Amino acid sequence: MKIFLLFATVCLWNQSVLVVTADASDYVLCAGGTLAKLASGGAQITLVRVTNDDKDSVNLLPEETANRVRQESEAAAKELGIAKVIHLGYRAGELGGVSPTELRDRIMFYVRLTKPDVMFIPNPYAEYVEVLDRHYTGMAAEEARRTATMPNHQPAHAIAGLSPHIVKELYYYSAPVDPRRREPEGPAQFVPQPVVRDIAGTFTRKLRAAQALTTINQAMAAAIHRRLEDTGRRLPLFDRGLTESAVAKLVEENVRGLAALCAKDTQFRQAEEFHHAGPDYQVPLRYSGAAKR
Amino acid sequence: MKRWLFLAVASFLQAAEPLPLVELPKGQTFLVFQPHHDDHTTDYGMGGLIARLVDEGWKGWFLRASNDEKDGAASYGVNDQVNLRESQAAGKVLGMEGVYSMSWRNDYMDSIPLLELREQLIVLIRKHRPDVVLGHDPWAHYDRNPDHRKVARALAEATWMSGLANVHPEHVALGLRPHRVPVLFLKARWDYGRGHEANVAVSLTAEQVRRKAIAYQTHRNVYASPAMGASICKQLEAEGLTATELDGLSDGDAAVRIEEWYMDWISRKVGAANGAKYAEIYYRVAEFDHLPGLKSYLEKSQLKK
């Protein structure tokens, strides 16, 4: 057993992970616990953050919002043990006007540069996720994983010393709003499968990472407060105003709620849900069967 | 063709589990965002819910995003004008306040910048501050109509992004305040694959269904045509069937009667499948559905002021 654990640790130690996120909060809330666990095992994690989150704040101009969220997203990534953050800087909420090919190729560059064993990307097929930047980012990242393997996609990369790369494993993450997210859409050979990962051991780090995103969190709290006020309701948590501690508590409720929702009907107490394309994905059965034998 | 549609819809409805019959949310204003003149009166949703909202004191406006120039047998310009007039008339039948026509080119919406269309919706949301928005389900599958898909996608973002002051801050400078739409009722054909799966049913009265039926066949440029009435009567005759209720009616009146029957039948069928006399079904996005981790906490912890 000890030898197995040592072997597993050594394997993880050299593992490279690339996380693609549309915005600062999505990957933290959906995959933060799992990423913290990988980082603890020694994985080298790189984050590509596609938009600059310039829209979501209280009484701040877009430029100031973007600057603050950039710093806060680096702090959040640090909490999770992410080694490097790359900010692509697209304007938030405007990916619908960006060329999907351009976005794909920018992500593909980082696939070839960091040569990940595993990628985490937003699930573009998750339904009722209202932030469509996550859909566009997911589509581009999924495609980037494929095109990164082919030398005729952006052959100029080869001149710069970037060779094609195959990413062996892929996790799709999304907020648990799709009512049918746990229904497998087909066999694992063809379709990524719903999986649940235990995050009890890294929950606290995930929470700290989420709380580090103070600008976005204040905006979320203010929006909830406004909605309740406008409809003659109140949240006792906000009775002393939207204080730092009240907002931090709201974030804690959110992260706890998400972890409990994802752990529902599983053996875990706190969890995250994914769709996982593992080693068998898109490998014809006759080959995967032979490999297993 | 219509018979096959009847059978497909009937078998789908019989197989489905009953949906919860929901009360309308609290509020007073609603907007309907659709690409076409007739999308608010279709058999698979909107007209009945609109009539019920109006009956319960709400005020509503309809947005027609396209110019409907292809819909009808006339030339582009004539179709555009006639369809708009009929849309306004149908809106009145349902009790709506008015129609905004964005007049984008029908079925050629691919070239419209999505963000520009989205901004038009955001302006209307900020002006009217709706408590509910109705529209096509952006996550529905197999909708062959490109306009449905485009407007639904614009709706998906406009309804929440309109709540952010940094989205089009120039609107705020003009006095429009940010407003997030708390509740959506989304429709799509039930028999178009598994993308759209309704989660609620809304019960209707016979009077609301009657207005829905009238609103539907108010679109005479495309529905209830005398040719359709004649064709169905001819088919009945060929099969040795009679419908005494159609005896002595002109082809046009027969067509209207048939459309009314169809709307009554489908609304009754949906109602029976969901524990009501008449109903429509929707995917409802409720006020805190976008915060799945907080939804139950907010429901438990909120208090009346």
Element (H, E) at A194: strand A193-198
- The residue with tokens 């070239």 is B111
Contact check, Cβ <8 Å, B195/A130: no
Q: How big, in percent rounded to 5, are the helix, strand and coil portions of chain A?
A: 50, 15, 35
Asked if B180 is an interface residue toward chain A (Cβ–Cβ < 8 A), one would say yes
CB B278 within 8 A of CB B271: yes
Pick A97's closest partner by Cβ from B113, B180, B285.
B113
- Tell me how far CA of residue B25 lies from CA of A231, B30, B143, B199, B208, in angstroms: 11, 11, 28, 15, 18
Classify residue A167 as exposed, middle or buried by CB count within 10 Å of its CB (0-12, 13-18, 19+).
buried
Radius of gyration of chain B (CA): 20
Instruction: Please indicate, yes or no, if residue A91 is contained in any of the structural domains.
Output: yes
Residue A266 in this model has a pLDDT that exceeds 90: yes
User: What are the beta bridge partners of residue B32?
Assistant: B62, B134
**Domains of chain B (ranges plus CATH)?**
27-221 (3.40.50.10320)
Mutate to test the interface with B, among A123, A127, A135 (most CBs of B within 10 A): A127
- Tell me how far CA of residue A47 lies from CA of A15, A91, A153, B73, B280, in angstroms: 14, 17, 22, 55, 45
Please give the mean pLDDT across all residues of chain A: 93
Residue B143 has what pLDDT?
86
Residue B54 has what pLDDT?
98
CB B100 within 8 A of CB B61: yes
Mean pLDDT of the A201-230 span: 97
Q: Which residue of B has its CA nearest to A185?
A: B194
Q: Which residue of A has its CA nearest to B25?
A: A231
Q: Report the Cα B13 to chain-centroid distance in Å.
A: 19
Which tens digits make up the pLDDT trace of B169-213? 999 999 999 999 999 999 998 877 778 899 999 999 999 999 999
pLDDT band at B14 (very low <50, low <70, confident <90, very high): low
Q: What are phi and psi of A84, to 5 degrees?
A: -145, 140
Give the CA dihedral A23, A24, A25, A31, nearest 10 degrees: 90
Cα(A123)–Cα(A192) distance, integer angstroms: 10
Residue B98 in this model has a pLDDT that exceeds 80: yes
Residue A112 has what pLDDT?
98
Tokens of B94: 């349902």
Q: Measured in Å, how far apart are chain B's first and last C-alpha atoms?
A: 56
Residue A13 has what pLDDT?
60
Pick A128's closest partner by Cβ from B118, B159, B285.
B285
Instruction: Please indicate, yes or no, if residue A88 is contained in any of the structural domains.
Output: yes
User: Which A residues 23-42 touch B at CB under 8 Å?
Assistant: 29
Which tens digits make up the pLDDT trace of B261-299? 999 999 999 999 999 999 999 999 999 999 999 999 999
Cα(A104)–Cα(A100) distance, integer angstroms: 6
Residues 6+ apart with CB under 8 A from A71: none
Which tens digits make up the pLDDT trace of A33-71? 999 999 999 999 999 999 999 999 999 999 999 999 999
Q: Which residue of A has its CA nearest to B150?
A: A96
**Least confident span in A6-15, A23-32, B150-159:** A6-15
Q: What percent of chain A has pLDDT over 90?
A: 88
Q: Write a three-state SS string for A203-225.
A: HHHHHHHHHCCHHHHHHHHHHHH
Closest to B87 measured CA to CA, from B46, B144, B139, B142: B46
Q: What percent of chain B has pLDDT over 90?
A: 78
Q: Which residue of B has its CA nearest to A136?
A: B153
Q: Which CATH number do you get for residue A100?
A: 3.40.50.10320
Cα(B112)–Cα(B104) distance, integer angstroms: 8
Asked if B300 is an interface residue toward chain A (Cβ–Cβ < 8 A), one would say no
Number of domains in chain A: 1
Tokens of B287: 């006020």
pLDDT band at A16 (very low <50, low <70, confident <90, very high): very high
N residues, chain A: 293
User: What are the beta bridge partners of residue A173?
Assistant: A122, A274
Instruction: Please indicate, yes or no, if residue A1 is contained in any of the structural domains.
Output: no
Instruction: Please indicate, yes or no, if residue A6 is contained in any of the structural domains.
Output: no
Residue B3 in this model has a pLDDT that exceeds 60: no
Cα(A70)–Cα(A26) distance, integer angstroms: 14
Nearest CA to CA, how far is A90 from chain B (Å)? 14
Mean pLDDT of the A77-95 span: 98
Which tens digits make up the pLDDT trace of A137-154? 999 999 999 999 999 999
Contact check, Cβ <8 Å, A128/B302: no
Q: Report the Cα B278 to chain-centroid distance in Å.
A: 16
Instruction: Please indicate, yes or no, if residue A291 is contained in any of the structural domains.
Output: no
**Least confident span in A9-13, B14-18, B234-238:** A9-13
CB A121 within 8 A of CB A107: no
User: What are the beta bridge partners of residue A208?
Assistant: none
- The residue with tokens 């080694």 is A83
Residue A12 has what pLDDT?
57
Residue A286 has what pLDDT?
63
- The residue with tokens 């509910």 is B132
Contact check, Cβ <8 Å, B301/A235: yes
DSSP 3-state of B85: helix
CB B120 within 8 A of CB B259: no
Residue A280 has what pLDDT?
78
**The complex's ipTM?**
0.90
Q: Which residue of A has its CA nearest to B153?
A: A132
Cα(A142)–Cα(A124) distance, integer angstroms: 9
CB A92 within 8 A of CB A108: no
Mean pLDDT of the A13-31 span: 95
Mean pLDDT of the A239-259 span: 98
Q: How many CB pairs under 8 A join A and B?
A: 107
Mean pLDDT of the A182-202 span: 93
Q: Which domain holds residue A191?
A: 12-285
Classify residue A131 as exposed, middle or buried by CB count within 10 Å of its CB (0-12, 13-18, 19+).
buried
pLDDT band at B1 (very low <50, low <70, confident <90, very high): very low
Asked if B113 is an interface residue toward chain A (Cβ–Cβ < 8 A), one would say yes
Q: Tell me, what DSSP letter sits at residue B21?
A: B
Contact check, Cβ <8 Å, A257/B161: no
Asked if A239 is an interface residue toward chain B (Cβ–Cβ < 8 A), one would say no
Residues 6+ apart with CB under 8 A from B215: B40, B41, B47, B90, B91, B93, B94
Residue A285 in this model has a pLDDT that exceeds 70: no
Cα(A33)–Cα(A274) distance, integer angstroms: 12
Cα(A46)–Cα(B126) distance, integer angstroms: 39
Higher pLDDT, A15 or B190: A15
- Which residues in chain B are closer than 8 Å to A179, comparing Cβ atoms? 197, 199
DSSP 3-state of A125: coil
Triad A72, A74, A76: Cα angle to 5° = 70
Cα(B68)–Cα(B77) distance, integer angstroms: 9
DSSP A232-245: TEE-GGGTT-S-HH
Cα(A276)–Cα(B75) distance, integer angstroms: 52
